[in-house]
Amino acid sequence: MLNFLDRFAKCRAAVIGDLIVDCYLQGDVSRISPEAPVPVVRSLSEKSVPGGAANVVANLATLGVFVNVVGLTGMDEARDHLIESLHGHGRIDVSGVIGVARRPTTRKLRVLGAHQQIIRIDHEDTSPFDQAIEDRVIEAAFSAIEPADVVILSDYGKGVLSDRVLRAIIGRCEAASKQVLVDPKRTDLSVYRGARILTPNRKELTAATRLPCETDEEATAAASRAREISGANILLTRSEKGMSFFPAEGAPIHLATVAQDVFDVSGAGDTVIAVLAASLAAELPILDAMKMANHAAGIVVAKVGTAVVTPDELYASLASEMASPSVNDGRHVNTAGAVALRWAWAKEKLTVGVANGCFDLLHPGHISLIRQAAETCDRLIMALNSDASVRRLKGPSRPIQDENARAAVIGAIKGVSAVVLFDEDTPLELLRALQPDILVKGADYTEDKVVGADIVRARGGRVVLANLSAGHSTTNLIKTAEKPFPLGSSLPAGSKKEGSPADTDAGARQDRMPTP
How far, in Å, CA of 510 to CA of 500, rounded? 15
Pairing of strands 107-113, 116-123: antiparallel
Q: Which of 382, 388, 389, 376 is nearest to 350 (CA)?
A: 376
Q: Check the CA dihedral 504-508-509-511 and report its sign.
A: positive
Residue 202 annotated in ligand binding: yes
Residue 14 φ then ψ, to 5° = -110, 125
Which residues, at least 6 apart from 35, have a Cβ–Cβ distance to it below 8 Å?
Answer: none
Amino acid letter, 479: K
Contact 297, 42 (CB under 8 A): no
Sign of CA dihedral 273, 274, 276, 277: positive
Task: Give the separation between CA 382 and CA 385, rounded to whole angstroms.
Answer: 10
The HSE-up count of residue 406 (CA atoms within 13 Å, CB side) is: 26
Residues 149, 155, 183, 270: which is the catalytic one? Answer: 270
Has 347 been labeled as part of a binding site? Answer: no
Q: Is 270 marked active-site?
A: yes
Q: Distance between CA atoms of 309 and 453, rounded to whole angstroms?
A: 25
Give the Cα separation of 56 and 509 in Å (integer).
66
- What DSSP element (H or E) covers 299? helix 286-300
Give the residues across from 132 on adjacent strands.
Answer: none
Phi–psi pair at 41, nearest 5 degrees = -105, 120
203 is in an annotated binding site: yes
In whole angstroms, what is the distance from residue 414 CA to residue 74 CA? 64
Strand partners, 232: none
| CB 188 within 8 Å of CB 208 | yes
Q: Residue 78, CB half-sphere, CA atoms under 13 Å: how many? A: 24
Any binding-site annotation on 201? Answer: yes
Q: Write phi, then psi, for 20 (nearest 5 degrees).
A: -135, 145
Which residues are part of a known binding site? Answer: 201-204
Annotated binding-site members for ATP = 201-204
Which residue numbers are catalytic?
A: 270
